[in-house]
């Protein structure tokens, strides 16, 4: 849209005066003093401007400090009730506004003049000191950051004092807006009307009074420059009054932007004979607007009825130097001004183009990111510069063109749009020429708009701009590009940090196991204390010091130094601080996570040791009883039968002693459900909850008349996602969790669509059933590893073997040798399984199609397209009905089915190698202590909980050493010969259980509107700011069952092709698309991502192939044929699409 500005010659142009005619709104009243204005001036003189602004006008002060009146409705009412001076000020100002229009304008002019004079007098000393310190700061050239920061802080405080004493007519306007909101939202008149305050009728007339002023040519505030908000109810109320009087008002919106003190307001005043505030330094904060009606002949000539002029806050003001986000604020303001205008005047003073270029470059990108809500502003650049500097200016122009060219490379240009750059040799000589340019632009423009549409656009667009945080946070496109590179560097560094922590975590695990085994006779609390000291070492690792560093930690140090050097070279402290803080936070999170994991491991080991002592004692007693009748059980069947009996008795004993440690989850859930629904449960709800099966969500159709065909699937997905989110951070049942769930369900059933009571009961019952099912699985997993009975059940095979051995050899040295040999075989097997798993996972990750999420999805959709192409269209429909579930299941099945030619060979090789090592190590031992040390260390290193020999046998006689050694060797040889520990598939980890593998799939959250899968990294929603946003290449919405509400035909447009003024119907709401995006779907980005052009074409192909079957599934009509071929045009056939996608996988 900014095309021609790159080629326009800025110097030299003829001046033609065509006699611009403006309407009556340009006729200003005199400055006669009125009694009403004098009263309020006297009030201000008595109270002082500072007091009025900070102590009386408390409503805007609270709003400036980010207090949300919608969430804290009682606070503004309390302020109104308790601040008598505010009541008096409101009454006095309302008296002025209720005057006849001419007297009203004159009184306001008198008030504005006097308030400005009083403010200037009151703030002059602070203003002088601030300007002096700025000069000192520039002249001294302070290089020491600490001193510079101190002086900037002092200047910031002085400007704040200036601001606190600066009272303007806009502050009265703001306060009235908040009072109007109070009166509009409070139904109890006794809370707001009392004493001498204005009546409700008078307050409700205020928007009409201001509408009269705006129509008559006065200026009102559009955007509050202090709180950076638009008082929506107040602004819309005023504009609605104008629309009531001029229902088909055609407008052309002209905004002006530029650096502070570049003469923006002066230029508008000179162009249109208006009265925007001017003086040295910053006058305008936020945006101000003026409505200028045109004479009839000019209106007919231009095709518009009025101009809306928007004066904007100057960029890069010295008063902002202490504000942390001032640059981002300037970029947002530029974006907003351009986005709501038909024409934007860029005002350049002298050689200030560099700063302005940085702001505009990002604004152009941002306007395009936000899709500009249908408005394409033209640009007029006005430069004020002396003749002698024209050569220097040409160099700046060239840089400006280059900067815009780079910005335009990132956006789609509108070749029909134009941009002008008239010369500006002498200011007063070129005003008429500038008139001509504006008039010409207005006449040529196709972007004139209706006033009603425009003022609704303004509120929604500001919310969107205010929410947009990606582009506006950058100063230039180069900075944006550098951010993306730094983002990759940080991700790489996080991976290296993970490797270092993983190594040290495993070392600490080993030390904890040895600590527990070596001190098994010590007090449990004492062992736990020693282990916790070991665990704290993980925080020493996080310091990553050079002294005695391991290879992995040294790599972290080197990468951090490299990143820091890159940041230092860029000479920008802010991103350096932010990235350093990000890395610090990541390291802290790693430490905390590992600390918790190691503490849980310690508790588990100590519990197992304690349990083992109890079990061994119980087993010994049972065996002693069993052997009283005979010395040994020689028959293998008898030994197995007796071992099974002892095992059952042991389990019963442990279960009895620990009956309070196992939680009955269903009882807990039922109890909390009974309490939570005590006063709200119906008989129908109780029956649904107590049933053994999930309630059928389709029963909601009986209660909801306007339910969309595919909304049942959406409800189910929302419920399951909500429950999964609640359970994501817990590993066992906790009291109160059902209450949390009930609150979440209530929010789900009331925040969007307002469901009827019957529907709510069905949703509650379904959510509770799903929760109970998932909670039981989580608790079962917890019980396996954290309760005595659970741990015992996992070791059943071990204990049966141990019992049978003792029954066979009695309690002898041979028995202990056999048991030790068996545990060594188990440790060898575990190490071999871990090695096989690692190789298997790496083999999966080495597949060419699994390098990244784009390739994974491409492969998935190629296979899906093949099925559809071969007439298995049901498979295609199944995906688009449940995209998240379909691709997740496919990916898990796919990676789990990946086989190696040498599958199991790594296990076999590792087992044989380790077996030889273990066997030879036992043979190399010369005394019992050497055997004990090796056995304990080897099994512990491989995560097996076992202690060689009981306490009473620790001092074994050397003459029995050979018995133990021979028994171990024999057990090792027998186990290997009998293939007792051969590899079985069920022992291996499924690749889909690997976090590293699943990360390759990426985020699979589907877009609410079109069902397209998010293409961001898996788990990105746990990040901050930009990283949380879902992004994708959106697809035809009909694939997700979205339809035209009138015709019931499936929609053909993708989300990014919808115009911002389109009415969107969802969840019993009707909102403009621009509003819906910013308010209800601000966690998604709706713009073409160019993630994969060929994949986007394939989605359109799917819609062509499947829309008939999808229409049947959704109980809708097929897509309109003309819409289908207009919005889903296919410029490639199936074969071309698939070949292109297959090449993408192979690249």
Q: What is the pLDDT of residues 876-900, one digit of tens each?
A: 999 998 899 899 999 999 999 998 8
Q: Is the pLDDT of residue 1143 over 80?
A: no
H/E element, 230: none
Task: Tell whether domain 246-319+327-468 is in CATH 3.90.550.10.
Answer: no
Q: Residue 21: what pLDDT? A: 44
Distance CA 904, CA 833 (A): 9
Question: Does the pLDDT of residue 337 top 60, yes or no?
Answer: yes
Q: How far is CA 719 from the centre of its chain?
A: 20
Rounded CA separation 218/975 (Å) = 97
pTM of the model: 0.53
Of the two residues 580 and 478, the one the predictor is more confident about is 580
Whether 41 contacts 461, CB under 8 Å: no
Is a pLDDT exceeding 50 seen at residue 1006?
A: yes
Strands 1069-1072 and 449-450: unpaired
Task: Identify which of 486-490, 512-516, 574-578, 1120-1124 has the greatest average pLDDT.
Answer: 1120-1124
3-state secondary structure of 1100: helix
CA angle 113, 56, 183 (to 5 degrees): 100
| SS3 category, 630 | coil
List pLDDT tens digits, range 578-612. Answer: 677 778 877 887 888 788 888 878 877 777 676 66
- pLDDT tens digits, one per residue of 1073-1102: 989 988 888 889 887 765 456 788 899 999
Region at 105 (left for phi over 0; alpha for psi -120 to 50; beta for the rest): alpha
Cβ partners under 8 Å of residue 720, min gap 6: 770
Contact between residue 969 and residue 821 where contact means Cβ atoms under 8 Å apart: yes
> Residue 41: pLDDT above 50?
yes
Most confident of 221-225, 347-351, 376-380: 221-225
Q: What pLDDT score was predicted for residue 957?
A: 56
Over the range 901-930, which residues count as b (16 or more CB within 10 Å of their CB) and which as e? eebbebbeebbeebbeebbeebeebeebee
If you compute the radius of gyration of the chain from its CA atoms, what whole number of angstroms results? 38
Residue 822 gets which letter from DSSP? H
- Buried-exposed string 208-241: b where 16+ CB fall within 10 A, e elsewhere: bbbbbbbbbbbbbbbbbbbbbbbbbebbbbbbeb
Mean pLDDT along residues 370-398: 55
Q: What is the pLDDT of residue 405?
A: 58
Contact 964, 931 (CB under 8 A): yes
Taking CA 166 as the corner, what is the angle to CA 163 and CA 169, rounded to the nearest 5 degrees?
130
| 632, 815 Cβ separation under 8 angstroms | no
Q: Check: CB of residue 742 under 8 Å from CB of residue 761.
A: no
DSSP 927: S
| Strand pairing category for 306-312 and 250-258 | parallel
User: What is the pLDDT at residue 979?
Assistant: 84
Is pLDDT at 382 greater than 60 in this prediction? yes
Overall average pLDDT of the 88-113 stretch: 91
Closest CA to 276 of 347, 315, 330, 218: 218
The answer, yes or no, to whether residue 263 has pLDDT greater than 50, is yes
In the predicted structure, residue 477 carries a pLDDT above the cut 60: no
CA pair distance 236, 220, nearest whole angstrom: 13
Report yes or no: 93 and 40 within 8 Å, Cβ to Cβ. Answer: yes
Distances in Å between the Cα of 1057 and the Cα atoms of 373, 1010, 1112, 1116 are 11, 12, 25, 22
What pLDDT is attached to residue 624?
65
Longest dimension (CA), the chain: 126
Tell me the C-alpha distance between 716 and 367, whole Å. Answer: 37
Residue with tokens 């097996």: 944
Residue 602: predicted pLDDT: 83
Nearest to 1005 by CA among 1040, 1038, 1042: 1040
Q: CA-to-CA distance for 395 and 412, rounded, in angstroms?
A: 27
pLDDT, position 394: 52
- Give the tens place of pLDDT for each residue, 785-805: 777 777 778 778 877 887 788
- Please give the Cα distance from 725 to 713 (Å, whole number): 18
| Phi, psi of 288, rounded to the nearest 5 degrees | -125, 145
Backbone dihedral angles phi then psi of residue 347, each to the nearest 5 degrees: -100, 115
* Cα separation, 1124 vs 1104, whole angstroms: 8
- Location of each CATH 3.40.50.300 domain in the chain: 246-319+327-468
- 213-225 pLDDT, tens digit each: 999 989 999 998 8
> What distance in Å separates the CA atoms of residue 18 and residue 300, rounded to the nearest whole number?
16
For residues 183-197, give the mean pLDDT. Answer: 75
Q: Residues 698, 702, 706, CA angle at the centre, nearest 5°? A: 90
Could you give the CA distance from residue 1116 to residue 1128 in angstroms, rounded to a whole number? 19
CA distances from 1105 to 873, 1055, 1098 (A): 8, 20, 10
Residue 390 pLDDT exceeds 70: no
CA–CA separation, 707 and 701 (whole Å): 7
Averaged confidence pLDDT in the chain: 78
The answer to whether 748 touches 711, Cβ cutoff 8 Å, is: no
Query: Sorting pLDDT into bands at 50, 70 and 90, what band is 454?
Result: confident
Neighbours of 842 (CB within 10 A): 12
């Amino acid at each position: 849209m900014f095309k021609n500005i790159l080629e326009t010659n800025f110097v030299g142009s003829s001046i033609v005066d065509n006699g611009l005619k403006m309407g009556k709104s340009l006729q200003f009243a005199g400055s006669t003093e009125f009694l009403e204005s004098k009263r309020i001036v006297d009030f201000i003189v008595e109270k002082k401007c500072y007091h009025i602004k900070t102590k009386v006008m408390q409503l805007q002060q609270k709003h400036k400090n980010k207090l949300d009146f919608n969430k804290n409705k009682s606070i503004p009412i309390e302020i109104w009730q308790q601040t008598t001076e505010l009541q008096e000020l409101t009454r006095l100002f309302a008296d002025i506004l209720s005057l006849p229009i001419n007297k009203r304008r004159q009184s306001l002019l008198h008030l504005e003049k006097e308030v400005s004079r009083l403010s200037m007098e009151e703030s002059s000393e602070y203003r002088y000191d601030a300007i002096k310190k700025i000069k000192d700061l520039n002249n001294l050239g302070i290089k020491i950051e600490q001193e510079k920061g101190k002086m900037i802080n002092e200047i910031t405080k002085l400007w704040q004092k200036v601001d606190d004493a600066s009272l303007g007519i806009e502050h009265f306007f703001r306060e009235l807006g908040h009072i109007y909101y109070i009166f509009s939202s409070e139904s109890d008149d006794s809370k707001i009307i009392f004493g001498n305050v204005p009546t409700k009728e008078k307050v409700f007339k205020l928007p009409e009074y201001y509408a009269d002023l705006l129509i008559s040519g006065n200026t009102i505030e559009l955007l509050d420059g202090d709180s950076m908000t638009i008082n929506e109810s107040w602004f819309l109320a005023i504009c609605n009054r104008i629309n009531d009087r001029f229902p088909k008002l055609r407008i052309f919106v002209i905004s002006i932007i530029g650096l502070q003190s570049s003469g923006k307001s002066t230029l508008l005043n000179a162009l249109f004979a208006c009265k925007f505030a001017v003086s040295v330094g910053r006058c305008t904060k936020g945006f101000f607007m003026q409505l200028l009606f045109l004479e009839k002949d000019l209106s007919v000539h231009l095709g518009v009825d009025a101009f809306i002029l928007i004066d904007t806050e100057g960029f890069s003001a010295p008063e902002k130097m202490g504000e942390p986000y001032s640059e981002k604020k300037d970029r947002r303001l530029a974006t907003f001004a351009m986005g709501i205008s038909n024409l934007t005047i860029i005002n350049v003073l002298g050689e200030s183009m560099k700063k302005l270029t940085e702001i505009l470059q990002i604004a152009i990108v941002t306007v395009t990111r936000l899709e500009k809500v249908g408005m394409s502003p033209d640009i007029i650049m006005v430069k004020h510069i002396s003749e002698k500097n024209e050569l220097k200016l040409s160099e700046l122009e060239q840089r400006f063109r280059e900067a815009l060219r780079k910005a335009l490379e990132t956006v789609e240009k509108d070749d029909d749009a134009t941009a002008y750059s008239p010369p500006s040799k002498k200011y007063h000589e070129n005003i008429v020429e500038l008139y001509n340019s504006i008039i010409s632009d207005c006449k040529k423009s196709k972007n004139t708009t209706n006033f009603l549409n425009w003022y609704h656009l303004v509120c929604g667009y500001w919310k969107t701009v205010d929410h947009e945080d990606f582009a506006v946070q950058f100063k230039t496109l180069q900075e944006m590009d550098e951010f993306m590179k730094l983002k990759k560097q940080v991700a790489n560094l996080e991976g290296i940090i993970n490797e270092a922590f993983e190594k040290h975590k495993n070392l600490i695990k080993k030390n904890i196991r040895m600590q527990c085994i070596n001190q098994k006779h010590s007090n449990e609390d004492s062992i736990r204390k020693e282990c916790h000291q070991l665990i704290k070492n993980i925080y020493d690792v996080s310091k990553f010091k050079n002294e005695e560093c391991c290879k992995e930690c040294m790599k972290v140090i080197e990468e951090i130094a490299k990143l820091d050097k890159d940041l230092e070279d860029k000479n920008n402290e802010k991103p350096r601080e932010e990235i350093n803080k990000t890395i610090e936070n990541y390291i802290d999170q790693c430490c905390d996570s590992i600390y918790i994991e190691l503490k849980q491991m310690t508790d588990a080991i100590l519990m197992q040791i304690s349990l083992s002592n109890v079990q061994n004692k119980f087993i010994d007693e049972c065996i002693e009883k069993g052997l009283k009748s005979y010395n040994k059980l020689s028959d293998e069947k008898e030994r197995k039968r007796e071992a099974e009996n002892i095992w059952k008795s042991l389990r019963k004993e442990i279960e009895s002693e620990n009956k309070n440690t196992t939680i009955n989850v269903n009882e807990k859930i039922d109890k909390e459900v009974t309490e939570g629904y005590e006063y709200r449960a119906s008989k129908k709800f109780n029956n649904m909850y107590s049933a053994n099966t999930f309630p059928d969500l389709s029963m909601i159709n009986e209660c909801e008349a306007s339910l969309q065909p595919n909304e049942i699937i959406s409800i189910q997905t929302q419920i399951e996602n909500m429950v999964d989110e609640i359970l994501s951070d817990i590993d066992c049942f906790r009291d109160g969790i059902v209450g949390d769930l009930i609150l979440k369900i209530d929010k789900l059933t009331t925040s969007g669509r307002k469901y009827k009571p019957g529907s709510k009961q069905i949703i509650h019952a379904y959510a509770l059933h799903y929760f109970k099912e998932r909670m039981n699985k989580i608790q079962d997993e917890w019980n396996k590893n954290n309760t005595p009975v659970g741990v015992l059940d996992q070791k059943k095979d071990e204990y049966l073997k141990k019992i049978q051995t003792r029954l066979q050899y009695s309690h002898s040295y041979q028995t202990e040798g056999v048991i030790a040999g068996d545990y060594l075989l188990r440790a060898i097997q575990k190490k071999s399984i871990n090695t096989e798993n690692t190789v298997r996972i790496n083999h999966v990750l080495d597949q060419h199609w699994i390098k990244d999420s784009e390739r994974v999805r491409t492969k998935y959709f190629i296979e899906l397209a093949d099925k559809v192409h071969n007439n298995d269209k049901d498979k295609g429909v199944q995906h688009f009905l449940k995209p998240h579930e379909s691709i997740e299941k496919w990916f898990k099945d796919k990676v789990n089915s990946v086989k190696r030619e040498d599958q199991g060979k790594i296990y076999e090789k590792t087992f044989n190698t380790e077996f030889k090592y273990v066997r030879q190590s036992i043979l190399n031992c010369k005394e019992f202590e050497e055997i004990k040390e090796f056995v304990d260390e080897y099994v512990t290193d491989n995560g097996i909980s076992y202690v060689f020999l009981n306490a009473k046998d620790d001092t074994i006689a050397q003459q029995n050493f050979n018995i133990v050694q021979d028994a171990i060797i024999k057990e090792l040889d027998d186990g290997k010969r009998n293939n007792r520990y051969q590899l079985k598939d069920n022992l291996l980890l499924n690749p889909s259980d690997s976090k590293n593998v699943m990360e390759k799939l990426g985020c699979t959250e589907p877009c609410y509107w079109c069902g397209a899968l998010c293409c961001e990294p898996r788990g990105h929603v746990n990040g901050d700011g930009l990283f949380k946003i879902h992004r994708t290449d959106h697809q035809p919405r009909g694939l997700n069952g979205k339809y035209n509400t009138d015709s019931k035909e499936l929609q053909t447009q993708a989300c990014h092709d919808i115009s911002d003024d389109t009415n969107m119907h969802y969840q019993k709401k009707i909102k403009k698309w621009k509003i819906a995006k910013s308010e209800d779907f601000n966690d998604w980005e709706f713009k073409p991502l160019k993630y994969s052009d060929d994949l986007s074409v394939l989605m359109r192909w799917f819609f062509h192939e499947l829309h008939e079957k999808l229409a049947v599934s959704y109980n809708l009509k097929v897509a309109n044929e003309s819409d289908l071929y207009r919005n889903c045009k296919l410029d490639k056939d199936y074969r071309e699409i698939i070949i292109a996608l297959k090449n993408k996988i192979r690249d």
